[in-house]
Chain A
């Protein structure tokens, strides 16, 4: 009975409600042009997409297509000429670490800080009390599987471990969105595979909205709910692919025809625009 009245009273406006949820992202007709010596160079053209809260979205495209620039704009680190980026229904106008965490291609840890202090860095900037900082950073290190490495410095960690610390740093303020700019690009193939699985495990535990940039087709299909394929410069979205492979994803799925079909579809776009 109570359920019925509740259903009647709350107006059914699913679209707005979804767009206002904290982790939702909307990139609204975004374009950007770089000034250059020979005149302006269009970099991004009419980028338009939405990601519901909790989705894993992968941006894939050839080098120089502007996918990293787009991610930096979503992080509030660069501004676009036109269009808007909304996160949880509110525009992104500058860095906003409480809404958006960022993980960069190189882990970019501070070499003079321990793993724990690197993770706690965003909290230190906001003057969170040292005891609480340590507790929350330690929780994050546990989440990324680095229990017992808190007091190590970055040069004492492997490439994969450093990237785990960077992910922990991105998550420590519990932002609803995690932006990842080719985070595994500098890792070797095997580490990269393992980090993909790790990321999916962390994602399934935290249910963040993830926007993940890569140029690896296999990685895109393996990780994504949805893939946005970008063209070479000027970057525009040329295809949107929903990946319906079941979760949890496994290594064996990469041998399935569906997996190959999706990878071939992305490659078709990239090769097609890239006529040799």
Chain B
């Protein structure tokens, strides 16, 4: 990286912070000055205070835990299953020919339209959220795993063969490292997909969960907790996303 880039990078970073800071200042100042109705947009600091109060309530923390568990369960089921089926299909030209077009058709359909079917068949409890999360995410993981398997270069396999690698060594020393960057990116997107699916299902029909809370606050025009919930979920999503991206960068530095 040249010096110019570094200076430009610092300048860009300053502009970004300025932009975010500016939005927050406006968010605070406009309602306080009366230019914007503070019933409609409560000031930023009020929202932060509300968030703090909410986090102090055990019922709200319980809702957060429920949502987190639903997301984790859905991810823990969908990611390995998707990866397994993706591997098996990608490794078999026969299965690929049968399944590839079908999977692409399915992938193109918006998953949200199936939500009522999930409610009719599974109710509105914990496992319905998990099932819908899996349904929304599994296909993405499956297709990404296929892409990852197909990104393995035949020439690399040939090199490994020529040096007498066993099947297991080829798996661990060629397949896995070749696939890792694409897999990690897929997992990051899968987390986002699961997050979206679970909160959507909670907002649509549920008795618990942060999505349910947000829906209720919105219905009742309770702007402070509504914005507090949005703020919390946004920050959580950003943090999770960045954490995986950090791992991605560490594992995929060679992909340039």
Binding between chains A and B: yes
Q: Residues on A close to B: CB < 8 A? A: 75-77, 95-97, 102, 104, 106, 108, 110-112, 121-122, 124-126, 153-155
Contact of B158 among A77, A96, A112, A125 (CB under 8 A): A77
**Neighbouring A residues of B254 by C-beta, 8 Å:** 111-112, 153-155
Cβ-defined contact, A125 with B161, below 8 A: no
Q: Does B253 count as interface, using CB distance less than 8 angstroms?
A: yes
- 9 inter-chain pairs at a CB distance below 8 angstroms, sorted by A residue, are A75-B162, A77-B158, A96-B164, A97-B162, A97-B163, A110-B159, A111-B255, A125-B166, A155-B256
**Neighbouring B residues of A125 by C-beta, 8 Å:** 160, 163-166, 169, 173
**Neighbouring B residues of A154 by C-beta, 8 Å:** 254
**Neighbouring A residues of B160 by C-beta, 8 Å:** 125
Give chain B interface residues in 159-184, CB to chain A under 8 Å. Answer: 159-166, 169, 173-174, 177-178, 180
A266 to chain B, nearest CB (A): 28
CA distance in complex: A112, B256 (Å): 11
**Neighbouring A residues of B163 by C-beta, 8 Å:** 95, 97, 121-122, 125
Interface core residue of A77, A121, A124, A153 (most chain B CB under 10 Å): A121
**Neighbouring B residues of A155 by C-beta, 8 Å:** 254, 256
Known contacts A102-B159, A106-B155, A108-B153; can you find 7 more A-B pairs with CB under 8 A? A77-B158, A97-B163, A111-B255, A112-B254, A124-B173, A125-B169, A125-B173
CA distance in complex: A77, B154 (Å): 13
**Neighbouring B residues of A121 by C-beta, 8 Å:** 159, 163, 173
Cβ-defined contact, B156 with A77, below 8 A: no
Interface core residue of B174, B177, B180, B254 (most chain A CB under 10 Å): B254
The 3 closest A-B pairs by CB, nearest first: A122-B163, A111-B254, A102-B162
**Neighbouring B residues of A95 by C-beta, 8 Å:** 161-164
B176, closest chain A residue (CB):
A112
**Neighbouring A residues of B178 by C-beta, 8 Å:** 112
Interface core residue of B164, B165, B177, B178 (most chain A CB under 10 Å): B164
